[in-house]
Each structure stands twice: as C-alpha cells, then as structure tokens.
Amino acid sequence: MSVNAISNNNVTATVASTVGVPKEVKDKEAKTTKDSKDTAVVYEKSSSDTKKTYTQDTNLIAKLKADAEQRTSQFKNLVEQLLTKQNKTFQTATDFFQALQRGEIEVDAATKAQAQEDVSEDGYWGVKQTSERILDFAKALTGGDPSKIDEMKAAFEKGFKAAEKLWGGELPEISQKTYDAVMKGFEEWKNPSTEDTDAAQ
C-alpha cells in the first residue's frame, strides 16, 4: 500500500464524516478543537514549596496570663471569704452555746436548732458543703482541667492563710477539717479512681 493511498483514505474518511452534518455542529466541533489547542497546562508553584514561619501572639499570651491570674485571685478571695464566714458562724454558734450553757441567753428552740444545723456536718457552713463549694468553684474556674489543679491548690492555701491572718491565729477545728476535705477533693480530682472514671463515662 502506498503513502498516497493512506493519505487519500484519511481525506476520504474526513470528508465522509462531515457529509450530512449541519453547519452549527461543524462550527461547534471546530471551536472545541481550537479551544483545546489554545488551553495548555500551566504550572503554578505550590504554596508548600515555601517555608512557613511561626510567631508568638504576644497579645494573646498576655491576655491569657492576665485571665489566669485573675481567676486564681478570684479563687483565693472566695476561699478567704468562705472560711471567714464559716468561722464567724462557728464562733457565733460556739459563743451562743456557751452563753446558753451559762444561762446568759434564753433562745427559742427553732433558733437553736438552726444554729446547730448551719455548722453541722451536712449544714450550709459545715465541712461537707463548704469544701464542696470551694472545689466546685475551682472546677468552674478551670473548666475541669486537671492540669490546673496545682495552681488551684496553691490559691486555696493562700486563701486559707489569709483567713487565718484575719482570724488572728489558727482557725477552729471546723476549718481545719474543711481544709483537709478540700485537699482530699483536689487529690481525687487529680487521680480519679476507676469507679469515678466509670461513673463519669
């Protein structure tokens, strides 16, 4: 077979394929062929080729530090206020009961019962509820983040010492028991038992 025969066959095939095809279709095919020839692959340099640099956001760091210091200070103040109030209530109740025993004060049964209830083990100013309020506040301030426990413990200890200073010496036994209950609560929060973990899940 000669080269001319192959060329003639191609021309014949091209002519045959366009015979009877409407002009609009031919124009569209011609335009598509032209567009595809005009469009070439373009190389664009990837952004990953450049090395990204990281810088500290000093404004955000300063804001977060100030926020942490404010929360720690809030917690210390809360501890100081709670323990001072607990001690005043305890002292009032103690003085009250001593005065009652000496016959210096007469009081109705309802008032006496309320005073006893307030400083009882389960009373509002008792060890259990006061320590729970302190721990709840610490968890609320930190969002429950265990990595902040040591910071909260330090703030609690500062608040306890400030309450002692206001009191003028060692706090009463009820406050010492509250201190122990709070420290135990911090330890349980830091190292939860498997039962606590299962209950949380």
Rounded Cα distance between 91 and 61, Å, is 45
Rounded Cα distance between 104 and 93, Å, is 14
Per-residue pLDDT of the chain (201 residues; tens, 9 = 90+): 454 444 444 444 444 444 555 555 555 555 555 555 555 555 565 555 566 665 667 777 777 777 777 877 887 887 888 887 887 777 777 776 666 566 666 667 787 788 778 888 888 888 999 999 999 989 988 888 889 999 999 999 999 998 888 888 888 888 999 999 999 999 999 998 755 555 555
Neighbours of 4 (CB within 10 A): 8
- Say which residues have a Cβ less than 8 Å from residue 179's Cβ, sequence separation at least 6: 160, 171
Which spans in the chain are helix H?
Answer: 3-18, 23-38, 58-101, 109-118, 127-142, 149-167, 173-190, 194-200
- DSSP designation for 46: -
- DSSP designation for 172: P
pTM of the model: 0.51
- DSSP designation for 103: T
